[in-house]
Amino acid sequence: MKRLCVVLALLSSGAVASDKRSGVEYVSPETRALQADDFANPGMLWVGGGEALWNEAVGQTKKSCASCHQDAKQTMKGVAARYPVFDEVRKRPIDLQGRINQCRVRRQKAAAFAFESEALLSLSAYIAHQSRGMPVTPPRDERLWSYIENGKELYFRRIGQIDINCASCHDARAGQRLSGNLIPEAHPTGYPIYRLEWQSAGSLQRRMRGCMTGVRAEPYAYGSPEMINLELYLMNRAAGLPIETPAVRP
Amino acid sequence: MAAPRIMVNVPKTAARGEIVEIKTLIAHKMETGHRMGLNGQRIPRDIINRFECTYNGALVFAADLFPAVSANPFIAFTTVAVASGTLKFRWVDDHGKVSTTSAKITVT
Amino acid sequence: MRLCLPLIALLIGGEATAQSLRPYQIEADAITQSLTGKTGVAARGQAIIADRQRGLCLLCHTGAFPEPHMQGNVAPDLREVVGTLSAGQLRLRLVDIRRVNPDSPMPSFYRNDGLTRVGAPWRGKPILAADEIEDVLAYLLTLQERK
């Protein structure tokens, strides 16, 4: 019962489902149009690149992702909508990028992709794209609860020289203008995104690190437990919103 | 990554005389040559400087590109569907690297 | 002689990074004494605010500065927030607004303790130095005169 209360508290602390608005609603009409047109959305270049990698036989096993998972359009549908999940091997949560690298190392016997490498972003984009339009549905797995709770603590922890937490901007001031930028609600539904400022695709972790550096804090390392827990909390907070990968952001 | 990442969108079919819209997207960093690297040295310019589209061998669209064009350039244009055949696309960058792709169109 | 040089370097280093802040006294909701003992220069304060990366004010506030579309609306206009606050009250709000309003998103500009995970380039330093606080304050006071 106590456990249940924790989860209920976690979920009710975010905005009510119907109130949630994706980041796409906070961007200019031009950027929205770019995201909506698959032939103009630069993020689709990564999706296309990911499809090519999916079918490439590599590593000591000379197996492609497709050798085991066949057609991603079927087998990967809905996967990104429920990640991060609890990993039986590591006995802690793993995100989609982590899972891709796990398959790379354990099943293909190839070297892990670096964070933010074109290959990892492309495969992530290709897999997440198969869930486009599907609602975020975090697994009901009690092994995840303490990690979600930690993610929430991090979200509400003041950090950096500016000494401010994520919620001060993304919960309390969404829709207001910080410098020239509209503050969105920080829903992680479009990742990897194509960000105009980066002139490239990038991961949710890169985006969060940007906010951390913005408040003059030492960002958490790529792949660190803190990052995964933040991802977990944000996905739980975004439950019900549709996946948009590849989203376009300013 | 093996193949250059390119996307083109050409309608599969069109009526003769119809104006069709063609959209192209290619992955390229479009380094302007104006930026400084971490070592304080200028990052050398590397942009796609030329794009061409031929339709059954005839040049129907071409563009010279300049350093102000953003990364991963999107180029859209229209042409008149004259006959069934092939559209060929060609991008050339500062290193002389040529990327190509093609698409078929059936004109009825 | 060998020993002397590093010592001097250390002393200069300590001075330049200004690890320790100048002490100040809070009376009611104000710091009545200048942090530097001198009056700030309004024109310099204006320049500090105009440089977003230095003053940060325009991230949240609007004001009489170029590029209004690049100014935030998280907080009211600077010309409004100065209100009828005294110089001492404004000084405390710049130094450590959280003493007055613990939930304010506005950072404490003259504080370097009790912070978490400050990035290396900013570690141990306040956002603004004591003389910069006085300069910004001098500029804010001109906004009141104009009213």
- The pLDDT, as a whole number, for residue B31 is 92
Task: Examine the pLDDT at A235 and tell me if it is beyond 60.
Answer: yes
Where are chain B's structural domains? 6-107
- The pLDDT, as a whole number, for residue C3 is 39
Q: Yes or no: say if B48 and B65 are a contact pair by the CB < 8 Å rule.
A: yes
Q: How far apart are CA C98 and CA C112, in angstroms?
A: 13
Task: Examine the pLDDT at A77 and tell me if it is beyond 80.
Answer: yes
Distance from CA of A166 to the nearest CA of C (A): 11
C125 in contact with chain A, both atoms CB, cutoff 8 A: yes
- The pLDDT, as a whole number, for residue B39 is 78
> Is the omega angle on the peptide bond into residue A84 within 30 degrees of 0, that is, cis?
yes
Sort out which chain C residues have CB atoms less than 8 A from A216's CB and list them.
118-119, 121-122
Q: Count how many residues are written for chain B.
A: 108
Q: Pick the residue from chain A with its C-alpha nearest to C106.
A: A162
Chains B and A touch (3+ CB pairs under 8 A): yes
A221 in contact with chain C, both atoms CB, cutoff 8 A: no
- 8 Å CB contact of C107 and A177: no
In single-letter form, the type of residue at position A38 comes to D
pLDDT average, residue stretch A76-102: 97
Three-state DSSP state, A129 = helix
Sort out which chain B residues have CB atoms less than 8 A from A200's CB and list them.
71-72
Predicted structure pTM score: 0.91
Q: How far apart are CA C147 and CA C116, in angstroms?
A: 39
pLDDT band, very low/low/confident/very high, at A18 (cuts 50, 70, 90): low
Sort out which chain A residues have CB atoms less than 8 A from B23's CB and list them.
37, 39-40
Structure tokens at A241: 């919103």
What is the set of domains in chain C, with CATH numbers?
A: 5-145 (1.10.760.10)
Q: Pick the residue from chain B with its C-alpha nearest to A117.
A: B1
- 8 Å CB contact of B1 and A119: yes
Output the CA angle A96-A97-A102, nearest 5 degrees. Answer: 95
Distance from CA of B30 to the nearest CA of A (A): 9
- The pLDDT, as a whole number, for residue B40 is 78
For B1, the closest of A40, A49, A196 (CB atoms) is A49
pLDDT average, residue stretch A177-206: 97
- 8 Å CB contact of C118 and A218: yes
Q: Chains with 3 or more CB pairs closer than 8 angstroms to B?
A: A
Least confident span in A1-10, A39-48, A223-232, B71-80: A1-10
A216, A218, A224, best to mutate vs chain C, most C CBs in 10 Å: A216
Task: Examine the pLDDT at A89 and tell me if it is beyond 50.
Answer: yes
For the annotated catalytic residues of A, the residue numbers are 211
pLDDT average, residue stretch C130-145: 96
Q: Yes or no: say if C38 and C135 are a contact pair by the CB < 8 Å rule.
A: no
More confident residue, C7 or B27: B27
For C60, the closest of A178, A180, A213 (CB atoms) is A178
Task: Examine the pLDDT at C70 and tell me if it is beyond 80.
Answer: yes
Structure tokens at B64: 């010279």
- For residue range A151-166, list pLDDT tens digits in order: 999 999 999 999 999 9
Output the CA angle C44-C46-C50, nearest 5 degrees. Answer: 115
- 8 Å CB contact of A45 and B5: yes
Q: How far apart are CA A60 and CA B53, in angstroms?
A: 41
Least confident span in A9-23, A85-99, B15-29, C114-128: A9-23
Task: Examine the pLDDT at C77 and tell me if it is beyond 80.
Answer: yes
B12, B21, B22, B25, best to mutate vs chain A, most A CBs in 10 Å: B25
pLDDT band, very low/low/confident/very high, at B68 (cuts 50, 70, 90): confident
**What is the 8-class DSSP label of residue A128?**
H
B32, B74, B101, best to mutate vs chain A, most A CBs in 10 Å: B74
pLDDT band, very low/low/confident/very high, at A221 (cuts 50, 70, 90): very high
Task: Examine the pLDDT at A6 and tell me if it is beyond 80.
Answer: no
More confident residue, C147 or B12: B12
pLDDT band, very low/low/confident/very high, at C16 (cuts 50, 70, 90): very low
Q: Pick the residue from chain A with its C-alpha nearest to C120.
A: A218
Task: Examine the pLDDT at C13 and tell me if it is beyond 90.
Answer: no
pLDDT band, very low/low/confident/very high, at A247 (cuts 50, 70, 90): very high
Task: Examine the pLDDT at A52 and tell me if it is beyond 50.
Answer: yes
Sort out which chain B residues have CB atoms less than 8 A from A44's CB and list them.
7, 25
In what side-by-side order are the strands of the sheet with B19-26?
A: B6-9, B19-26, B74-80
In single-letter form, the type of residue at position B13 comes to T
Structure tokens at A208: 């969060």
- For residue range C19-67, list pLDDT tens digits in order: 689 999 999 999 999 999 999 999 999 999 999 999 999 999 999 999 9
Indicate the CATH number of B6-107 among 1.10.150.80, 3.30.930.10, 3.90.1170.50, 2.60.40.10: 2.60.40.10
- 8 Å CB contact of A216 and C105: no
Q: Pick the residue from chain A with its C-alpha nearest to B29.
A: A199
